[in-house]
Structure 1
Amino acid sequence: MGSGQVTDWQGKNVTVAGLGVSGIPAAKVLHGLGAKVTVVNDGDDARARAQAADLEALGIAVRLGDGATLPEGTELIVTAPGWKPDKPLFAAAREAGVPVWGDVELAWRLRRPDAAPWLAVTGTNGKTTTVQMLASILEAAGLRTAAVGNIGVSLLDAVLGEEQYDVLAVELSSYQLHWAPSLRAHSAAVLNLAPDHLDWHGSMEAYAADKGRIYEGNHVACVYNVADKATEDLVREADVEEGCRAIGFTLGTPAPSQLGIVEGILVDRAFVEDRHKNAQELAEVSDVNPPAPHNIANALAAAALARAYGVPPKAVRDGLRAFTPDAHRIAHVADLEGVAYVDDSKATNTHAAEASLAAYESIVWIAGGLAKGAVFEELVAKSAKRLRAAVLIGADRGLIREALARHAPEVPVVDLDRTDTGAMLAAVQEARRLAVAGDTVLLAPACASMDMFANYNQRGDAFAEAVRELGAGA
């Protein structure tokens, strides 16, 4: 597999778009390779000026407050993944015939000839968890690996650093895939597809197409979700290496070339001899933490990628047992008076919230925040029978309130007309008042957090703190 390296960066005029977590390392790496680097950035605040000063001290040119103009002589743009494709800078690049790469494309092109293959994961929800599960399984098999990409070690560090890896578990967002035209993974998975980031991509079709890029040129396996036909369609459309296989994962009994569940056991009917007659036991559902349906699906996807790489069954079980989920992902905070309090602040869109709500039978739901253009009709309609009550906070809570009125009119709703950070304590107090023993008070906002909090972590921390305060006063 050729590394596609640009072997001579000396004197090459490269423009880096954005001073973010990917832009600064990219600028430094390219400068170190001898390129003439100019960083352009829309913002011009105190933080940007401090970052610019650090780069200028190295001899890197920085233009603050001017992210729209293509610098004279630019031969390549390396962009931060969040920059929208419709920005004037990219229109100017197209006009001038200048290629645009993202940080992932840059890392892919800078790999050494003997570089570790990539097992890549994308999807609207579950990416981080699946990649972390995959890394845990690979480690259990004795392989040198890391969870990289959107999480963990930066991809540039992983491909250029001292440490030698056998294989990398790579999380990729739709943004990163949009700007990574030559990426070719060993094997890849699209976990699910639901409307998200449509303001960035422009349409659901464009969003799906960018997700589907992860399958292009796969060598061994394209892993798809049997329950989500759109992911299988992307496999059919992909141009893959000869012999690459489509591998499904399902929460039901697996057909040949699938992984699935049989009587509480995760089984493989894809990477076994005579898959029409045989199945290989991998792990028990109870080995998955937490064993909520969507998380079992994540585990199956991780197992499929690991098995595609040749990992033995025992490593799948041991890796899943060793894995602990990140904070704010269906995290059990406390039990008070027979009511469970669960923090899934990471459920920042309707698809994630739907998976979260499906994990419990009787729920007092705390929801709301920034909708990012989402609609809540389907989410509420599917979850109505599980809802005992709802407590709404945040800027776009009215959209959820209207969906509840239409699809779950019998569910009591408390509309807290607040977007201050103290609203979370009030929400938890209301939820406690509404809950009875056996219920779950679930923070699964189905919205982004920036109207009230710095990020979903801070929102989840506020929920956990409010629950602890209730417990102390109980």
Structure 2
Amino acid sequence: MRISQLEGRRVALWGWGREGRAAWRAIREALPGLPLTLFCRADEVDGARGVDPTLVVESGATGERLAAFEVVVKSPGISPYGGAAAAAAARGTRFLGGTALWFAGQAGADGVVAGTACITGTKGKSTTSALMAHLLRAGGHRTALAGNIGLPLLELGDAPADYRVIELSSYQTGDVADSGARPAVAVVLNLFPEHLDWHGSHARYLADKLRLVSDAHPKLVVLNANDPRLATLELPHSEVRWFGSAEGWHLRGDVLFRGMREVMDTATLPLPGRHNRGNLCAALTAIEALGLDAAALAPHAADFASLPHRLQLLGERDGLAWVNDSISTTPQATLAALDCFRDRPVAVLVGGHDRGLDWTGFAGALRDRAPAAVVTMGANGPRIHELLAPLAAGGRFGLGAADGLADAVARARVMLGKGGVVLLSPGAPSFGPYRDYVERGRHFAALAGFDPDAISGIPGLGV
């Protein structure tokens, strides 16, 4: 559904964060006379009315109230499986996101949104998106970077670009399919359990994540040959290209290959961890899928600026290196972060919002590659602590329990001593004490003695 098709319908907005405000702005610009109702938090009501006095603003969305509207444009963080949304949908209300509205408005006559590369995956999607945009720009191509990485697509609007690299969370992939438009290229990096509270189950998370390639029918799909869930996909409507396989872009040790051709050594690239160099393979495969010479652009990875809150080396203080990996929201991401520092003593801070993820695999991995210390915190901290206690009792590593991030940092300093790495890689969302992973990462930086403002900006958003 395009924004113009909202004309004459009963329309509401649900959510007043950046995505919600972007949707309001885009609808108001296209349809200034369309009556709009906004459902938002109680503390946002007065601010929303001040921005647009014509808005009917209500706090607390119920199934009955939502069902009064034909279309509800909701923010990505609001699950369509929740009680109010599900009840309204059962009575005929259609729920859309800003991503769906943008894609529908950009589609060509064949349904394809030309020059788009959509990137998703449980981990690595932000780095891969930013890296791909960096490489395209280094080749002289006008490139937009938008989506879940920090710029809503409706804010990007119709800004002219040769290519548009779009990061999508699992909250947004279904929107692309619902838009009726087709991406030119879609990339799926990997699949691990995540966001089970939003999706309701691991099976539904996988299905929702994969709607980008199973239901949106991209012209070309780029998949990770080393992910067992992706390896079994059947996509009859799309051409599939693989990264991580001997026939395509892959790594042999630290050396990057395209098939049998050796391209470059990646050991000195600003991409910490083997998983990030695997993201380079994904980005190059997607660039190739767009019809460009990826091998010619690969050396420009040497100039890539790593993103904040993603294995971000803040610097050294008090004889310790401080690394901010606040975006880590799965145990697998924390293990990948630990692998980057396997040759150094590490105190890792884990825990946060409890989504019910299984940490037994994490505990099992620590039997073979234990850090110097683990400090647990947050709502799921006690559960993780209980799981790790038998290993710690056997002398595999030090184990501490903290009341919050400040306490965790203080305990890590004591447990680690001098000459090691304090690694914030929580493996869990920040909900509760923090608005998002950015606020958590900024607090960590401040506790370590660094300026939060100097470490938080994402370069290259927009065109």
Same fold (TM over 0.5): yes
Moved more, 442-451 or 297-306: 442-451
- Using the size of structure 2 for normalisation, the TM-score is 0.85
Shift of 1:351: 2.0
Per-residue CA distance 1:336-368 (angstroms, 9 max, x = gap):
687543222222321211111122224332223
From 117, 120, 126, the equivalent of 2:118 is: 120
Per-residue CA distance 1:195-247 (angstroms, 9 max, x = gap):
111111111111001111111444443222222211233x42x3524xx12x2
Residue 200 of structure 1 is matched in structure 2 by: 198
Is 1:173 the equivalent of 2:163? no
SS at match of 1:174: coil
Count of paired positions: 439
Per-residue CA distance 1:307-339 (angstroms, 9 max, x = gap):
111222355324422211122211223356875
Contact 2:75 2:98 in 1 (8 A): yes
Structure 2 residue runs of 5 or longer lacking an equivalent are: 451-463
Distance 1:391 1:169 in 2: 37
Shift of 1:65: 2.9
Distance 1:70 1:429, change over 3 A: same
Residue 455 of structure 2 is matched in structure 1 by: none
User: For residue 396 of structure 1, what is the amino acid of its counterpart?
Assistant: N
Distance 2:4 2:322 in 1: 55
Residue 83 of structure 1 is matched in structure 2 by: 78
Residue 323 of structure 1 is matched in structure 2 by: 304
Residue 266 of structure 1 is matched in structure 2 by: 256
Shift of 1:380: 2.0
SS at match of 1:332: strand
Residue 160 of structure 2 is matched in structure 1 by: 164
User: For residue 78 of structure 2, what is the amino acid of its counterpart?
Assistant: W
Contact 2:391 2:397 in 1 (8 A): no
Distance 2:373 2:120 in 1: 33
Contact 1:364 1:442 in 2 (8 A): yes
Residue 110 of structure 1 is matched in structure 2 by: 105
- Correspondence list, 1:32-47, <5 A: 32-34=29-31, 36-45=34-43, 47=44
SS at match of 1:109: helix
User: For residue 153 of structure 1, what is the amino acid of its counterpart?
Assistant: L
Structure 1 residue runs of 5 or longer lacking an equivalent are: 270-278, 470-474
Is 1:410 the equivalent of 2:395? yes
Shift of 1:128: 0.9
Distance 1:173 1:415, change over 3 A: same
RMSD of aligned alpha carbons: 2.8
Distance 2:210 2:256 in 1: 26
Distance 1:291 1:297, change over 3 A: same
SS at match of 1:188: strand
Distance 1:292 1:351 in 2: 13
Distance 1:194 1:225 in 2: 13
SS at match of 1:196: coil
Distance 1:112 1:164, change over 3 A: farther
Distance 2:66 2:355 in 1: 33
- Relative contact order, higher structure (CA 8 A, sep 6+): 2
User: For residue 225 of structure 2, what is the amino acid of its counterpart?
Assistant: V
- Correspondence list, 1:455-474, <5 A: 455-468=436-449
Shift of 1:465: 3.8
- Correspondence list, 1:257-406, <5 A: 258-262=248-252, 264-269=254-259, 279-286=260-267, 288-335=269-316, 340-361=321-342, 362=344, 363-384=346-367, 385-406=369-390
User: For residue 24 of structure 1, what is the amino acid of its counterpart?
Assistant: R
From 71, 94, 104, the equivalent of 1:99 is: 94
Per-residue CA distance 1:412-455 (angstroms, 9 max, x = gap):
43424422x5314413322333x6x5x43322222233444443
User: For residue 400 of structure 1, what is the amino acid of its counterpart?
Assistant: I
Contact 2:191 2:227 in 1 (8 A): yes
Shift of 1:106: 0.6
Distance 1:283 1:37 in 2: 57
Residue 249 of structure 1 is matched in structure 2 by: 243
Distance 1:92 1:321, change over 3 A: same
Residue 149 of structure 2 is matched in structure 1 by: 151
Residue 460 of structure 2 is matched in structure 1 by: none
SS at match of 1:173: coil
Is 1:134 the equivalent of 2:118? no
Shift of 1:173: 0.9
Distance 1:79 1:457 in 2: 22
SS at match of 1:40: strand
User: For residue 254 of structure 2, what is the amino acid of its counterpart?
Assistant: G
Contact 1:40 1:63 in 2 (8 A): yes
SS at match of 1:69: helix
Shift of 1:263: 5.2
Distance 1:111 1:231, change over 3 A: same
Contact 1:424 1:462 in 2 (8 A): no
Contact 1:135 1:169 in 2 (8 A): yes
Distance 1:407 1:6, change over 3 A: same
